[in-house]
Structure 1
Amino acid sequence: MKNQAPITPSRVPIKPYEINVSESELDELKTRLHLSRWPDQVDQAEWNYGTNLDYLKEVVDYWKTDFDWRRQESEINRLHHFSASIGNVDIHFIHEQGENTNATPIVLLHGWPGSFFQMQKIVPMLSEPSKHGGKAGDSFDVVVVSLPGFGFSSKPTEPGMNFYKMAEIVNTLMVDVLGYSKYVVRGSDVGAAIATELAQSFPAHVISIHLSGSNPFIVQLPINLSEAEISFVEKSSQYVMQEGAYGMEQSTKPQTLAFGLNDSPIGLAAWLLEKFRSWSDCQGNLENRFTKDEFLTNVMIYWLTQTIGSSMRVYYESAHHLSPNIGKRVEVPTAMFMFTHDVALAPREWEERTYNVQRWTECTSGGHFAEWEEPGEVANDLRLFFNDL
């Protein structure tokens, strides 16, 4: 893959980017892991009180003795990484050109607590489909963005970096930096919110959007709900009460959390582990969906870049700095690829209140981390949707 031609020149300088963590940072992490203090746990706690102590100890033991960051780093660097300064934010992104010279541009947007790494498996499926059971003519030029405040993108220093502002940055990257006048967007979680903003703000550039998941944090109820919508609203209310405390905390006091999670690798792993187990289709066993290496690589990206605090702030910024697009319908063609094991699954009529839904697919395998859990299914649905447009 490393013989790929340079990406399109632009007025904004684009720099090749290689992930290369210093040995001193890895040594410091090992020291912190060995010096950690463990909390107590009541008998038969399982996962009812939060992250299970015994399993987290197992993960951390693996982290200390068997996890090889350099191997993961090398694998990540097989893709083409770049950075560009847009406004006052340095954006890290992956750009893999499709094997077809007329490949359609697509930008993949991760959510929280994911990262660009959750796209590692699906990128070659989209850029080189002939190597994965598809046709070369169905390839995409794939761009994977590390959102501002996530991964190897810089951390915003001013208030207001909400979904709308992130969408402006993504559109600038695609149009002004990479030179794509039109492109497709794929996202879930935070990525879906940004994809929605892109479709609302830049319909002349956005060909279509491909989304997964429904937002259970409902701000305003529409009128004339169907029975299925009423059931969704009730289930969403239950979810928010039982599982939504993280969102309320990150929307109100993210800085308080940041002190502990940025200082303790075990605290960080515990915070992310509970979400990966609860939100994925793993039937209560994380390793039914993610290897320890995969989970820890995602944790390492947060740890090494010290972005857990800045990543959580997107919840605060979007709650306190409202988008000008609130209430605006998405008219560009939209596909909803819904996983029945995701945190929330609204009926089609609910999503059609906001989106011009042209394709609706429900998948019984996979959960919240769609591109990671079922990359082949997502890639195939993207191709089918785009070919039908």
Structure 2
Amino acid sequence: MRTLLLLSAYFGLLSETSAASIPAVKPFTVNLSSRVPHMLDLIGRTALPAAELAAAHSSLNMSLTTGMPLDTLKSLQNEWVTSFNWTREEEQINTYNHFTTQIGHQTVHFIHEKSKVPNAIPLILLHGWPGSFLEMVHLLDQLMLSNSSQAFDIVVPSLPGFGFSSPAPNEWSTSDTATLFNTLMIQVLGYKSYAVHGTDWGSVVGFDMYDQFNNTVKAAHFNFLPFFSLTPEQLTDQGIALTAAEAIQEQRAMDFENSGIGYYMEQATTVNTVGLALYDNPLGQLSWIAEKFIIWSDPRRGTGPSIVTNNEILRHVSMYYLTQTFDSAAFIYAQNPTGKGFLYTYRRARTNQPLLFSNFQWNMLFYPERLVATIGNLVYYNSVEFGGHFPALENPPALADDIRMIGKYFRS
């Protein structure tokens, strides 16, 4: 107990002093242009081999079996230095209302867009890796449409170590981030209750919020969960039978867990090695990150509702490089290794608040409806044919429609 109190005092999140004083909120403008010439110079001067030793090719489930293809990386490199325009991207990013605040020892960056509709539901959108707050802005646009059936006040924070939020200390966990963001919503922004949406690491933090703060979190929506997929044998043991379409998703999840988690082990065990190697290497960061945007997305990326284009990938990687957060963002894996962040054992949240889930069929992990129902009060489950691990970028209209269902169940 004394250790918990000391940690609370250090982080400045749970003490009576912090609760009594509301941290100041300061307007913030994204201004990273001074580093762009150096970035473009490095990109242009970085040599790549004339031919790759083993050509990356697609397996039956459309994943790249040997990693980033050389021709894809060369094409992205050329586009980065010839047509990508950071000034234009930065101007668009600054059309949103950005703020920072100091909660304890942590600087928290966030976007805050308020609805003009009375009694709008406060909603916090939580990104993952290799995303950033940018992952959520197109979804924000959809949710803020004037003809929307449900109005929201939307908050999009940067996770600690991502974007413009300060890195967290070594002892930090996703549970601490959950407390940090609950403090942001309740003490700093003054909401009495709110809903949460999360994906990837944002689903880990969001589930912690759903679990810990059942008096303030009145509904939660996820398209990913803080649990690994169960094997077919484990599903059978639980009496969960799969349809033919679900069996394809399950096989894709098993393929990912068997051969797609090399990055996870690297970032969870020796994060400094890759973090330092790529710290000032934008093309290296591009290879590491773009591969994930390609293989974790619906193979139809960049078509239809998907905005996972080459330009969008370059925008995300530029944000990592220009904010110098490649290493601090990856550190979330080392701080929350398997068994502490993502779990193999499913557990039920300590709340009866409504839980909603969207199953995008090209995601790399799979959660059947009956399994999701074991972790919370599942009131809504929807399978979406178009989209993968980044639905806020791949199919923002469909994801927004599912999130709007929160309005049916939210009780402040």
Fold shared, TM-score > 0.5 on shorter chain: yes
Residues 333, 357 of structure 1: 8 Å contact kept: yes
Alignment match, 2:166: 154
Alignment match, 2:17: none
Question: What is the number of residues matched between the two proteins?
Answer: 372
| Alpha-carbon distance between aligned partners in 2 of 1:344 and 1:320, rounded to the nearest angstrom | 15
Indicate which of 353, 369, 373 corresponds to 1:348.
369
Deviation of 1:95 (Å): 0.2
AA matched with 1:337: S
Describe the SS at the equivalent of 2:241: helix
| Alpha-carbon distance between aligned partners in 2 of 1:34 and 1:299, rounded to the nearest angstrom | 15
Deviation of 1:16 (Å): 0.2
Alignment match, 1:6: none
1:13 paired with 2:19, answer: no
Mark the CA change 1:330 to 1:347 in structure 2 (over 3 Å): closer, same or farther.
Answer: farther
Indicate which of 117, 135, 159 corresponds to 2:134.
117
Residues 216, 236 of structure 1: 8 Å contact kept: no
Mean CA deviation greater in 43-52 or 84-93? 43-52
1:73 paired with 2:87, answer: no
AA matched with 1:314: I
> Any idea what the Cα deviations from partners look like across 1:224-263, whole Å, max 9, x if unmatched?
4224389787764432111111112211111111012212
Mark the CA change 1:181 to 1:321 in structure 2 (over 3 Å): closer, same or farther.
Answer: farther
Alignment match, 1:143: 155
CA-based RMSD: 2.6
Residues 84, 90 of structure 1: 8 Å contact kept: yes
Residues 106, 185 of structure 1: 8 Å contact kept: yes
4+ residue runs over 6 A deviation: 219-223, 229-234, 284-288
| Alpha-carbon distance between aligned partners in 1 of 2:263 and 2:56, rounded to the nearest angstrom | 20
Residues 208, 333 of structure 1: 8 Å contact kept: yes
| Alpha-carbon distance between aligned partners in 1 of 2:409 and 2:261, rounded to the nearest angstrom | 37
1:202 paired with 2:213, answer: yes
Describe the SS at the equivalent of 1:106: strand
State the identity %: 31
Alignment match, 1:5: none
Alignment match, 1:378: 399
Mark the CA change 1:182 to 1:92 in structure 2 (over 3 Å): closer, same or farther.
Answer: same
Mark the CA change 1:219 to 1:360 in structure 2 (over 3 Å): closer, same or farther.
Answer: closer
| Alpha-carbon distance between aligned partners in 2 of 1:235 and 1:73, rounded to the nearest angstrom | 36
| Alpha-carbon distance between aligned partners in 2 of 1:241 and 1:321, rounded to the nearest angstrom | 17
Describe the SS at the equivalent of 1:120: helix
Structure 2 unaligned runs (5+)? 1-20, 58-63
> Any idea what the Cα deviations from partners look like across 1:193-229, whole Å, max 9, x if unmatched?
1110001111000010000034563699799422438
AA matched with 2:295: S
Mark the CA change 1:151 to 1:219 in structure 2 (over 3 Å): closer, same or farther.
Answer: farther
AA matched with 2:397: G
Residues 213, 339 of structure 1: 8 Å contact kept: no
| Alpha-carbon distance between aligned partners in 2 of 1:356 and 1:17, rounded to the nearest angstrom | 38
1:297 paired with 2:320, answer: no
What TM-score do you get using the length of structure 2 for normalisation?
0.84
What TM-score do you get using the length of structure 1 for normalisation?
0.88
Residues 26, 101 of structure 2: 8 Å contact kept: yes
Residues 204, 226 of structure 2: 8 Å contact kept: no
Mark the CA change 1:56 to 1:222 in structure 2 (over 3 Å): closer, same or farther.
Answer: closer
Indicate which of 129, 134, 137 corresponds to 2:148.
134
Residues 279, 326 of structure 2: 8 Å contact kept: yes
Structure 1 unaligned runs (5+)? 1-9
Deviation of 1:320 (Å): 7.4
